[in-house]
Amino acid sequence: MDIYKPHLNSPPHWFVSNTTYIVTGSILYGKPLLNSDAKLINFCETLIERASILNWSMDAWAVMPTHYHFIARSPENAFSLKALIQAVHSINSKFVNGMDRTPGRKVWYNYWDSCIQSEHSYHARMRYVMMNPVKHGLVQNPEDYPFSSYKYFIENSEPDFQKAVFSCTDEAKIEDNF
């Protein structure tokens, strides 16, 4: 079942059961608040744990100091995307603010999501997410960035699928200037 929910002062969200989404979230004012390995690890672990609890199947993710991207398949209850994001943002905000000794500070700004509608688009977005740390100058090679799914993808996906993803030359148009 497809349901469209506009929210005041935030991007509109489609909730579609059993479909693949790309989600991007940003830190308030683009500040690099995820500025330590511990903070990045906390975000990655929280995202994977909460996605599993809510039956979201993670395909790819990359977490940078100012933002994140992930690709995941929604469960039957696609409304749980909102709960997933709220939980990850809340848990990570408390962790980050605890480390920085800034209780109550707002960390996360918002998130944007869209449903991926074709195999080609899926490949382009998978490539985009896994190459995002390179795009932002955090590493020269994606295998050197520990806060993404790149290594897992290389170690666990079929060579033909890897080739389809990395040979996709289309630019995914994703808001990413944080």
Q: What is the pTM of this model?
A: 0.89
Tokens of 97: 């603010």
Q: How confident is the model at residue 1 (pLDDT cuts 50, 70, 90)?
A: very low
Residue 85 has pLDDT above 70, yes or no: yes
End-to-end CA separation in angstroms for the chain:
33
DSSP 78: T
CB-neighbour burial class of residue 64 (10 A; exposed 0-12, middle 13-18, buried 19+): buried
Q: Give the CATH H-level superfamily of domain 16-166.
A: Transposase IS200-like (3.30.70.1290)
Digit-coded pLDDT (tens) for 110-152: 899 999 999 999 999 999 999 999 999 999 999 999 999 999 9
- The confidence score (pLDDT) of residue 93 equals 98
Name the residue among 78, 41, 40 with its Cα closest to residue 56: 78
Q: For the stretch 32-54, what's the b/e string if a residue is b when 16 or more beta carbons lie within 10 angstroms of its beta carbon?
A: ebbeeeebbebbbebbbebbeeb
Mean pLDDT of the chain: 91
For residue range 156-169, what is the model confidence (pLDDT) as tens digits?
999 999 999 999 87
Helix (H) or strand (E) holding 140: none
**What 3-state class would DSSP assign to 157?**
coil
Q: Which amino acid appears at position 42 of this protein? A: N
Cα distance between residue 6 and residue 4, in whole Å: 7
Average pLDDT over residues 67-73: 98
Q: How many CB atoms lie within 10 A of CB 111?
A: 22
Q: How far is 125 from 4, CA to CA, in rounded Å? A: 22
Summarize pLDDT for 11-34 with one digit per residue, the tens: 566 788 889 999 999 999 999 999
In the chain, where are the structural domains located?
A: 16-166
pLDDT at 82: 92
The pLDDT of 77-93, averaged and rounded, is 95
